[in-house]
Amino acid sequence: MPEDDPARSGADRSGADRSGADRILDAAISGFGEHGVKGTSLKTIAAEAGVSQALILHHFGSKDRLHQACDEHVVRLVRQGKESAMSQGPQLDPLLALRQIEDSRPLLRYLARTLSEGGDHIAHLIDEMVADAEVYTGAAVEAGLIKPSAHPRERNVVLVLWSLGSLVLHEHMKRLLGVDFLDTEAPPENLAPYMLPVVELFTQGMFEPGTIDRFADAFDTLDDSDKE
C-alpha cells in the first residue's frame, strides 16, 4: 500500500500519519494564504503535501475542518513564538525576535488572507489570540519587559486588533512605508520604518504630560459609574 494510505493498521501508521498531517497543514496554510480557501482545492493541497486526498479527509474530515485546523495551528505557532521571545526577559534580542517573524511570514500571509475573507470562524480565531495574549503578556509583565496595566484585558484586545489590522492592511503598509510583512526574502532589518515608530510609541508615549488628563479622568468616572 502507499506510504500515506489511511487503510494501514493503526500500529503501522501512527508516525507516518503525523508526518502526513503536518505536511497537509503546511500545504493548506500556504495555499489558503496565497489563493484563499475558495481558490485552493483539496487536490492542490494533496499534491503539494505529497499525499492523497483520501488522507486529508481521513485526518480532517472536510475542507472546512481543515481550515479550522489551520487556524488552530497558526494560533499555536504564534503563541509559541511570543512565549519564546518573552521568556528571554530583559535580555530579549530584538533582531532574533524579528527573525522569528521573518520565519513566520507564511503564517502572516495566511492570517492576512483568512481575516480578509472573513467567516464564522474569525471570532473564535481572534478570541484565541486574545486569550493567548493575556497569558504571554502577563508573563512579560512578571519578567519586567512590559509595564502592568490597570486594564490588562482591554489593553490586550486593543493590541491584538491593532496588530491584525496592520496585517490586513499590509498592502498599504508597503505602499506608504515600504514595509512588506509578507516578503519572505526581505531581512528583518527592513521592518525598521514600521518598528521604530511602534517602539517609540510604546516606550515614550505620544502625548505630553497633562494633555489628556481630563479625558482620562472622564473615562475613569464613566467606568466607576458602570460598576455602581
| pLDDT tens figures, 95-144 | 555 556 556 778 888 999 999 988 888 999 999 999 988 988 898 898 88
> Region 7-27: what's the mean pLDDT?
60
> What is the distance of C-alpha 23 from the center of its chain?
19
What's the pTM?
A: 0.75
For residue 6, what pLDDT is reported? 37
Question: DSSP letters of 30-56?
Answer: HHHHHHTTTT--HHHHHHHHTS-HHHH
| pLDDT tens figures, 143-174 | 888 899 999 999 999 999 998 999 899 999 99
Select the highest-mean-pLDDT range: 7-11, 34-38, 135-139.
34-38
Which H/E stretch holds residue 123?
helix 122-142
For residue 5, what pLDDT is reported? 39
| pLDDT tens figures, 48-99 | 999 999 999 999 999 999 999 999 998 888 888 777 766 665 555 555 555 5
Beta-sheet strands, E only, within the chain:
none
Q: What is the mean pLDDT of the chain?
A: 81
Burial 79-106 (b: 16+ CB within 10 A, else e): bebbeebbeeeeeeeeeebbebbbebbb
* 100 and 153 Cβ atoms separated by less than 8 Å: no
